[in-house]
Chain A
Amino acid sequence: MTRDTRLAWINGLMLPLLNVLTAFAAIAIVFVFINVDPIEAAKIVIYGTLGYEEGIGYTLYYATNFVFTGLAVAVAFHAGLFNIGGEGQAYVGGLGVALVVLAFDPSISPWIVIPASIMGSLLFGALWAIVPGYLQAYRGSHIVITTIMFNFIASALMVYMCVHVLREVGQMNPQSKMFPETAWLPFIHDVFAGIGYKIAPSPLNLSIVLALLFSLLVWIFLWHTRWGYAIRATGKNTTAAVYGGIKPKKVIVITMCISGALAGLVAVNELLGYQHRLMLDFQYGYGFGGIAVALMGRNHPAGILVAALLFGILYQGGMELAFELPNVSRHIVVVMQGLVILFCGALEYIYKPWLVRFLAPVEVSE
C-alpha cells in the first residue's frame, strides 16, 4: 500500500471510527456518573434505533434530514465556503413547500403537486443562500457571518408568515392549515402496504429515496462534471482556478444556490412527508447538525450517508433512552449529541499525528 492510500484510509475510515469510539467512551463515563449502566444504555439505543421496525423508521426519518443538510454543507465546503446557514435555508425551504401546496387546488394530481412543491423547497432554499453567496463573491462579506445572520432573518420571516399570513383561521398555533392529502409524500409503510408487506407505521416517507438520489447526484456532480471540477478547483486553490479560466465569483454564487437548495429539502421530509403543514421551527437543529455530519462524512456523499445514520441513531436513541431510563433526561441526550460533535467535529484530527506516525511515516523530506 502506498503512503497515499494509507493516509486515505486513516483520514477516511480510521479517524472517524476512533473519534466515534472516543465519543462513546466519554458518553459511557457520563452515564456512570448519573447511575446509568452504559451497557444497558447501549442495548436500549441499539434496540431502539435498529431493533424494531418503528424504531428503524424513526432513525431513518431523522437521518434523512441530516443527509440533506450534510450534503448542503459539503457542497459549499468543496468550493471553500462554510455554509452555516443550513438552518435558515431549510426553514425558508418550508415556506416554498407551503406556498406551492396551498396555491394548488386539492383536486390536482399528486404527480403535479408533489414535484412542484419539491421544486418550491429547492428554489426557496437556494434563494435564501444566494444573497450571502452574492455578498461573499462581490462584496467580500464573510459567508459565515452572513449565513448566520440569514438564519435569524429566516426565523423572523417565518414567524411573520406563520403568524400573520398562513395561520389557519381559528387556530392558536402559528401554523398553516393541513396540506391536502394529494400533497402528502407517501409514507414508506404505506408504500410497503401497497406491495403487500405490512410494516409498523413511522414518519419515514419517500423523502429518504430523495436523499439517496441527491447523494448520488451530488457525487456525480462534484466528481464527474466540469461544473463540479470548477467548484472543487475554486475551493482548493482560487488562484489556480482563475488561471484555469474559472470565475470564482460565479462559482461561489452557484455553489451557494446548490447548497441552499439541498438544505431546503429538509422541508420536503418534514412537511410534505410527515407534519403535512407549515409550522414554526420544524427544521430545528438539523442545519447545524449537518455541519457535524459533513465533517464526519469527510464531505463525501458516502461518508455523509453513514454520518447521517449515526446522527439519526443519536436522535432516535436519545428519545428511547429518555423513555426507558428515568435518569436520562433530555439534557443528557443533548450532552450525548454534543460529545459526538465535539470528538468527531472539533477534535477530529486529535489522533491523526499518532496514526500517521505509526501507520504512514513520512518518506520524503524535500
Chain B
Amino acid sequence: MKHTKSSRLGGLIKKTSLALIAGAFVLSASIAQADIKPAVVYDIAGKNDQSFNEAVFVGITKYMNDTGIAVTELEPTNAAQVEQSLKKLASRGYEPIVAVGFAMANAVQAAAEAYPDTKFTLIDMVVGLPNVQNVLYKEHEGSFLVGVLAAMNSKTGTVGFIGGMDIPLISRFECGYKQGVKWQDSSMNVLANMTGSTPAAFGNPSKGGELTRTQIQNGADVVYAAAGGTGSGVYQAAADAGVLAIGVDSNQNWMQPGTMLTSMLKRVGEAAYDSYEAANNGTWEAGFRILGLAEDGVGWALDEYNRDLITPEMEARVNEARDAIIAGDIVVHDYMADDSCPI
C-alpha cells in the first residue's frame, strides 16, 4: 500500500488501516435514518494536522461512509471563531457537536451554557455541564504497554520520550511510559524532553528531530513521541539513526516502516464515531467517558509494518501486562491525579 501526504488520499488509506483496529467495536451495521445532524469543530490546527485532529477526521469520515449521514465540519481560524462555530451549529439544530481537544474547553463551556438543550462531546477535557459528554483517555495505560515494548527492545539500557507541549496531559503519557519501562526492567534509564510550552509544540517536527538526535547521542535506542505533528520529525530522526521509534494517537507504523516499533493508540476517531452513533440510538449520555485498556480506548498497534519487529515473546509479555492492568493487578499511576510521577 502506498502512502502519500495528500490529505484526502491519506484519509482514505488510513481509513483502511483503521478498519484493522476497529474490530473491537461492535458497530451497528444497519444504515441509520438521518434523524441526527452531527457536526464537529476542529481546533485551530485544522483537520489535516497529521495528528490528533486528523485522527478525529478519519473517524468521522468512516462514520459518514458507514452510515451515509453527513457530518458538518468546521475549522475555525481564531479563538473567537471557535465559540462562534459551536454556537452557530447549536443554533441551527446540529447535535451532537464534537469539540476536538483540550483547548476548546472555554468555548464549549460558553456554547453549552448558551444552548443547554444541545449535546456537546468534548474530547480530552472536562466541562461540568449537564449537556456535555467529556471523553477522556487513560493514556498512561496505553503508554505503559509501549513502555514494556521499548524496554524489551533496548540494547543500550536507555530509552527516550519526546513530549509535545509541557502540560499535565502529556506528562501523563510520559509517566505511564516510564512505569512500563521500569516494570519490564527496573535498571532501565528513561530520557525525557518536552518540545515546548505552547500548542505550537504539537507542530514542530524540526525541533522534534533535534531532541531525538540528542537523546540518541545520549544512548537512547527506542524513542516514544507523544507530540502530535512534531512526531514526524522524531520518527525521521530515529530512522536516520537506525533506532526504533514509537508513534502516538493514531496508528503511525506506516510512517517509517522498519524502525517504527509500534504506536500507542488513542482512539479519538472512535470517540466521535461512538458519540454520533449513541445519539442516533438515543443512548448518548452527558458526563464522563473514561476510556482505558478495558474499554479499548487506548492500546498498541500491531500490523504488517511492525509484524517483523515484534517477537511472539514480546507480544505475550505485552498482553500479560495488558491483562494485568485490566484485571487491576497492575495499577498504572495517573500523573494528573496528583500532578506527580512516582518514578
Contacts and interface: CB of A to CB of B under 8 A. Distances in A.
Interface stretch (A31-39, A253-261, A278-286, A301-309): A278-286
Interface stretch (B17-25, B76-84, B229-237, B254-262): B76-84
A314 to B, nearest CB: 12
Contacts of A280: 198-199
Interface in A279-295: 279-282, 284-285
Contacts of A319: 76, 81, 84-85
B106 A159 contact: no
Contacts of B166: 163
Interface string B63-92: 000000000101111111100110010000
B125 interface: yes
B46 interface: yes
Contact of B75 (A281, A285, A330): A330
A329 B48 CA distance: 12
A2 to B, nearest CB: 46
Nearest to B89: A323
Interface of B: 46, 72, 74-81, 84-85, 88, 102-103, 105-106, 114, 125, 166-169, 197-199
A174 interface: yes
22 contacts: A58-B80, A58-B84, A62-B80, A162-B198, A163-B166, A163-B198, A172-B125, A172-B168, A172-B169, A173-B103, A173-B106, A174-B197, A174-B198, A174-B199, A175-B106, A201-B114, A270-B80, A275-B80, A284-B78, A319-B81, A323-B74, A329-B75
Contacts of A58: 80, 84
A333 B77 contact: yes
A61 interface: yes
Nearest to A156: B198
A319 B83 CA distance: 12
Which 3 interchain pairs have the tightest Cβ spacing? A163-B197, A172-B167, A330-B75
Nearest to A320: B88
A277 B106 CA distance: 10
A282 B198 contact: no
Contacts of B75: 322, 329-330
A330 B77 contact: yes
B167 A282 contact: no
Contacts of B46: 330
Contact of B80 (A163, A164, A274): A274
A178 B81 CA distance: 19
B298 to A, nearest CB: 19
A203 interface: yes
A330 B102 CA distance: 21
Interface in A314-333: 319, 322-323, 329-330, 333
A172 B106 CA distance: 12
A279 B79 contact: yes
Contacts of A164: 197
